[in-house]
Chain A
Amino acid sequence: MSTGWSREEMAARAALDIPDGSYVNLGIGIPELVTRFVPEGREFIYHTENGMLGMGPPPADADRDLDLMNAGKKYVTAVPGAAYFHHADSFSMIRGGHIDVCVLGTMQVASNGDIANWSTGAPDAIPAVGGAMDLVQGVKHIYVITQHTTRTGEPKLVERCSYPLTGPGVVSRIFTDLAVVDVTDNGFQVVELAPGVTFAEVESKTGAPILPPA
């Protein structure tokens, strides 16, 4: 078995691909770890859908401000130079193409860039979409951080999503525990393998044709 990248290493690897000065929106889960791995000399400005640019790290419990939350409804802080705004302005930033990078978790991502991360489509599930469909259509670059397979070993990188789509053809790059994978006109293309991971292993755990590192 491979070693691959840890959750933190996946986030750190994704952070390397975010240019200095980017406006960044991070999804819940592993994407949130990106803030801990901003490369030396770079500054990112974090956007949260509920109306803030310049989101900072979580406060100590004693310093919590009940009116200062992120989109995951966790308490956060504001960095110097932060701004607050209402929801229509917040989603104008998203839909209007002003946010540079969005890093999302996912249930499935397809080799044509389709992403499915909001619903399993199960008949008894309560559908909940939040801002995911706005983000994938509006943000300039959609990155995905995800384990390469589900807990039961099913591929999450697939030829076509079986779950309902969040958006079609929107994902450009995927960071998994095994590899960095681009979505290209020719489908999945491995950009980089995690230490100790072979292309054969990545290929065997991917549910679609995938091209080896160039």
Chain B
Amino acid sequence: MINKMYSSIPDAVADIPDGATVMVGGFGASGSPIELIHALIDQGARNLTVINNNTGNGDVGLAALIGNGQVSKMICSFPRSSQSRVFPRLYKEGRIELELVPQGTLAERIRAAGAGIPAFYTPTTVGTVLAEGKESREFEGRTYVMEPWLKADFALIKCEVADPLGNLTYNKTARNFSPLMCMAATTTIVQTKKRVAAGEIDPEHVITPGIFVNRIVEVPDPVHEDTLIAEGRSYP
């Protein structure tokens, strides 16, 4: 009988090795899997390439992972925001690499990886510096640039409800990149606010089908990045 539940957060992230590529769900604070990220900080894997829309805020979650020196490269669309300090500092010191990807291209590159499509053409970046060096082609008289798929070894995901088969639902705009990342990573690790028995999620309402999920840990009362920052918290 399939049961993807893990009882311990540290066990769920224990085998993420140095040098791994890790997708982290969330858009800013919403949907950020803080408990899984903090477990990765405790675990200590280094030289990671991390894929997220942003680079974290304050000194918790993704920003803390970066601040702990564990991330050598970020792939994201918007690396600075009002409360992001850690990434900008390391970037200006030349201690972290940045691959800047427009948000829609980032989403589609992740989706393409999960869908087994090695590359696609998009009009986004045509005529801009971000298209330099990219293969382009005309379709029906309009120019498009080719973008490659974006895979990962692991994905760290936060969801609202999960069953032991890995079927997931999310809450509101906390969904964002997470369903795509579940598809694109070799090993998808999910923290869920609520665990239910198989069959309790209406099959019509499943957002991420369990085939894309490998491990689930229950985190019934997850912390929120904005709350931690408002409280002036840092990690570790």
A residues neighboring B (CB under 8 Å): 48-52, 65-71, 73, 78, 84-88, 90-91, 94-95, 114, 124, 126-134, 137-138, 164-169
Contact = CB atoms under 8 A, between A and B. Distances in A.
B128 A167 contact: yes
B128 A86 contact: no
A139 B79 CA distance: 24
B175 A86 contact: yes
Most central of A78, A95, A128, A132 by chain B CB within 10 Å:
A128
8 contacts: A51-B27, A91-B108, A94-B104, A114-B127, A130-B103, A133-B104, A167-B127, A168-B127
A160 to B, nearest CB: 13
A95 B130 contact: no
Contacts of B226: 66
Nearest to B101: A129
Given A49-B104, A126-B92, A164-B128, 13 more contacts: A51-B173, A66-B29, A66-B226, A68-B173, A69-B30, A73-B29, A73-B81, A84-B170, A91-B104, A126-B87, A164-B129, A165-B128, A166-B128
A36 to B, nearest CB: 22
B209 interface: no
Main secondary structure of the interface of A (DSSP, over half): loop
Contacts of B108: 88, 91
A133 B176 contact: no
Interface of B: 27-31, 77-81, 87-88, 91-92, 98, 100, 102-108, 110-111, 122-130, 170-180, 207, 224, 226-227
Nearest to B158: A67
Given A65-B172, A86-B180, A91 B92 contact: no
Nearest to A78: B172
A93 B87 CA distance: 31
Nearest to A137: B123
Nearest to A136: B124
B172 A129 contact: no
Contacts of B175: 51, 84-86
A134 B101 CA distance: 11
Contact of B80 (A69, A85, A126, A169): A126
Contacts of A124: 92
Contacts of B81: 73
A81 to B, nearest CB: 15
Contacts of A85: 175
Nearest to A130: B78
